[in-house]
Amino acid sequence: MSIASYVLGIVAALLVLAVVVELLRRGRLRERHAVWWMLAGLLALVAAVFPATLAWAARLLGVQVPTNLVFFASTAILFFVALQSSSELTEIEKRVRTLAEQSALQELRIRELEDGKKQPPS
């Protein structure tokens, strides 16, 4: 491995961590969503600084080419992040639906009260 690619790996991992931390700091990312990205960044940093750990982990898991372990781990993390996002999107859609229904009913109630059709509960 050349010095350049060694440095590139470290810089890329640090960049990921820096962006995640900055987003967290500014409140643009909630902790629960940041966990996976932090994990990815930290793993990348360890593998970049000590390439031997990657080779060791690959041997341990019986993966012949260490790079393939990197691809496998990245895909797995991306998969879980996407799945978690879909699941939270579903939850948010559910809440938006409930709010929309409630807003429709409240608008109707305001109209009825304004028209004097109904007495407010005393």
Residues that bind another protein (CB under 8 A): 97, 100-101, 103-105, 107-108, 112
Cα distance between the two ends of the chain: 79
Whose Cβ is closer to another protein: residue 18's or residue 96's? 96
Minimum CB distance to another protein, residue 84 (Å): 20
**Helices assigned H by DSSP within the chain:** 3-25, 31-49, 51-61, 66-114
Tell the smallest beta-carbon distance from residue 16 to another protein (Å): 37
Nearer to another protein (CB atom), residue 19 or residue 108: 108
CB of 20 to another protein, least distance (A): 33
44: exposed, middle or buried (Cβ count in 10 Å: 0-12, 13-18, 19+):
buried
CB closer to another protein, 26 vs 117: 117
Nearest to 71 by CA among 81, 58, 85: 58
